[in-house]
Amino acid sequence: MDHTPKPFEFYTAEKLWNDPHISKKMLEFHLDPDLEPASRSHEFISRSIGWMTDRFRIGTGMAIADFGCGPGLYTTAFAQKGADVLGIDFSDRSIRYARKQAAENRLPIQYVQQNYLDFQTDRRFDLITLIYCDFCVLSPDQRRRLLASVSNLLKDGGLIFLDVFSLSAFETRTEATVFEHCLMEGFWSSDDYYGFLKTIRYEKEKVVLDKYTIIEPSGQRKIYNWLQYFSLPALTGELKQAGLEIRESYSDVSGAQFDSGSDTMAVVAGKR
Ligand SMILES: C[S@@+](CC[C@H](N)C(=O)[O-])C[C@H]1O[C@@H](n2cnc3c(N)ncnc32)[C@H](O)[C@@H]1O
């Protein structure tokens, strides 16, 4: 029997976003206006972009980097407003789609296909975004690395805008075990398979693991989806360690008023 892994013991995110079959499904989810496993609904995204445009005065001359940009749902809108935009994502399929969209719309967006934990550039940014709770999938070490890099990439007066899952969302998570033929209706493979999902709560750390074991005739794969849930003080502490301070907090990236009962929170932070 498998041991219970330590929080964030295994990092398999790249398998999730770069496997040929799974990444195809993920791109379909991104582009579906209503489904939310990969991006928020398109109605929400358009509200979020409207709010961000006003809040950050997104327009000509503003340098924006979008970490985990996916197929470019936000980057495209920022560039259409005249901003100078860079998008980073390690998903080959998403970046190919994003580049095609940019070419078709004649938008000079720079896309980088890379793990954003390793991203380096001489450019500096007015705004760095990390949207749809991607911060939560990273281990404490990875989060430290990412925030140090973000802090270094911001211009003086530059801001980071990110959202995370809250402790209220943690309270809704329950432990479960599911074993099913073609678990999640073929999401994990185009071949016949059995899928085993084990959900584990780590009470002290406020972490949840969804561990998927996919059993196919060709062998077995394990995917570990970790989520760190945050209180506002915990998030404040992590940002502070990287020399960043929270300037504003909201319930989500559309600027909804902060409410500790909300499933998510979004913060605007800058260098101290
Ligand atoms: C939940 S999706 C959100 C996409 C986009 N921000 C949105 O809201 O539409 C997370 C994205 O981050 C990318 N990603 C996750 N971890 C990454 C990493 N370490 N480096 C680069 N991209 C990453 C995934 O490929 C995926 O496109």
pLDDT, one tens digit per residue, over 201-220 is 999 999 999 999 999 999 99
Nearest ligand 1 atom to the CA of 73 is 9
Ligand 1 pocket mutation pick from 14, 134, 136, 224 by most atoms within 8 angstroms of CB: 134
Q: Max alpha carbon distance in the chain (Å)?
A: 57
What separation in Å is there between the alpha carbon of 70 and the centre of ligand 1? 5
- What pLDDT, in 10s, does the model give residues 219-264? 999 999 999 999 999 999 999 999 999 999 999 999 999 999 999 9
Res 55: pLDDT:
98
Number of the ligand 1 atom closest to the C-alpha atom of 94:
27
Cα 68 from Cα 13, distance rounded (Å): 12
In whole angstroms, give the CA distance from residue 110 to residue 86: 5
Q: What is the number of other CB atoms lying within 10 angstroms of the CB of residue 111? A: 22
Output the ligand 1 site: residues, CB below 6 A.
13, 17, 38-39, 68-70, 73, 88-91, 94, 115-117, 131-132, 134
For ligand 1, atom 12, the nearest C-alpha belongs to: 68
Ligand 1 atom 4: residue of nearest CA: 70
Closest residue (by CA) to atom 27 of ligand 1?
Answer: 70
Task: Report the length, in residues, of the chain.
Answer: 272
CA 157/CA 244 separation, integer angstroms: 11
Residue 80: partners with Cβ closer than 8 Å, 6 or more residues away? 105, 107
Over residues 127-148, the mean pLDDT reads 98
Tell me which fold the domain 170-227 belongs to. Answer: N-terminal domain of TfIIb (2.20.25)
| Domain range list for the chain | 13-165+230-271, 170-227
**How many Å lie between the centroid of ligand 1 and the Cα of residue 131?**
8
On the question of pLDDT at 3 being above 90, the answer is no
Fold of 13-165+230-271: Rossmann fold (3.40.50)
pLDDT computed for residue 1 by the predictor: 56
Cα angle 89-93-99, degrees, rounded to a multiple of 5: 70
Give nearest CA residue, ligand 1 atom 1.
38
pTM above 0.85, yes or no: yes
pLDDT (tens digit, 9 = 90+) per residue, 71-107?
999 999 999 999 999 999 999 999 999 999 999 999 9
In sequence order, what DSSP letters do the residues of 176-217 get, joined into one string?
Answer: EEEEEETTTTTTS-SS--EEEEEEEEETTTTEEEEEEEEEET
